[in-house]
Amino acid sequence: MKRRANIAVGLLHEPRLLILDEPTVGVDPQSRNSILEAVAELGGSGMAVLYTTHYMEEAERLCDRIGIIDQGRLIAEGSRDELVQGLGEKATVSFRVAGGREDIEAWRVDLERLPEVNAVNDVESGLSVVTASGPGLIAPAVQSAQAHRLEVTESMSYSPISKPSS
């Protein structure tokens, strides 16, 4: 109810732009659906809505344009289809390691310098790498981790994300 009341208060003066920051965090599923329906209706009525979320399904459902921000920088922007097309043939490889946080951060810097690496993200006890070379990245990444006094305890490769068919 608090979330819905906050949105209602924000709409009282009939703004041309509504800014919503994670409006569905911590709400029950029924309230979440109600909020999403209300936001979709507002956007459909011509109001500009700036919507921040960590839930990609919400962004896909509500947004005409999506911007992806990583560490305070806008790293991608476009429609959902444009963003998926921009990925091309890429895969994600996650590494869990044993070692200190400083060593992991130094390792991250090394991984980001590799030409086949598109993004490096934190995961529990390690890093996740988006790459065009998929499993081919594992050996150089493990060697780099060892150079930073890290022991790779697990690596997982996820299926490539393919461009949508025309």
Same domain, residue pair 108 and 123 = yes
User: Mind listing the pLDDT tens digit for each residue in 83-137?
Assistant: 766 655 577 888 899 999 899 999 999 999 988 888 888 887 889 888 877 677 8
Query: Which pLDDT belongs to residue 103?
Result: 92
3-state SS assignment for residue 156: strand
How far from chain centre, in Å, is Cα 95?
Answer: 18
Q: Give 68 or 135, the one with higher predicted confidence.
A: 68
Does residue 94 sit within a domain?
Answer: yes
Q: Give 65 or 133, the one with higher predicted confidence.
A: 65
Q: Kindly report the CATH number assigned to the domain that includes residue 109.
A: 3.30.70.100
User: Mind listing the pLDDT tens digit for each residue in 20-63?
Assistant: 999 988 888 888 888 899 899 988 898 999 999 988 888 888 99
Fill in the amino acid letter for 17: L
Q: Specify the DSSP class assigned to residue 64.
A: S
164: confidence class by pLDDT, cuts 50, 70, 90: very low
Does residue 80 sit within a domain?
Answer: yes
Q: Which of 84, 100, 127 is the last residue of a domain?
A: 84
Does residue 98 sit within a domain?
Answer: yes
Sign of CA pseudo-dihedral 158, 159, 163, 164 = negative
- Among 107, 101, 99, which Cα is nearest to 128's? 107
Same domain, residue pair 8 and 80 = yes
The whole domain housing 54 covers 2-84
Helices (H), 2-100: 2-11, 29-44, 56-62, 80-87
Q: Kindly report the CATH number assigned to the domain that includes residue 43.
A: 3.40.50.300
Query: Which pLDDT belongs to residue 87?
Result: 59
Number of compact structural domains in the chain: 2
- State both tokens at 88: 């091309």
Query: Which pLDDT belongs to residue 165?
Result: 43
Same domain, residue pair 23 and 78 = yes
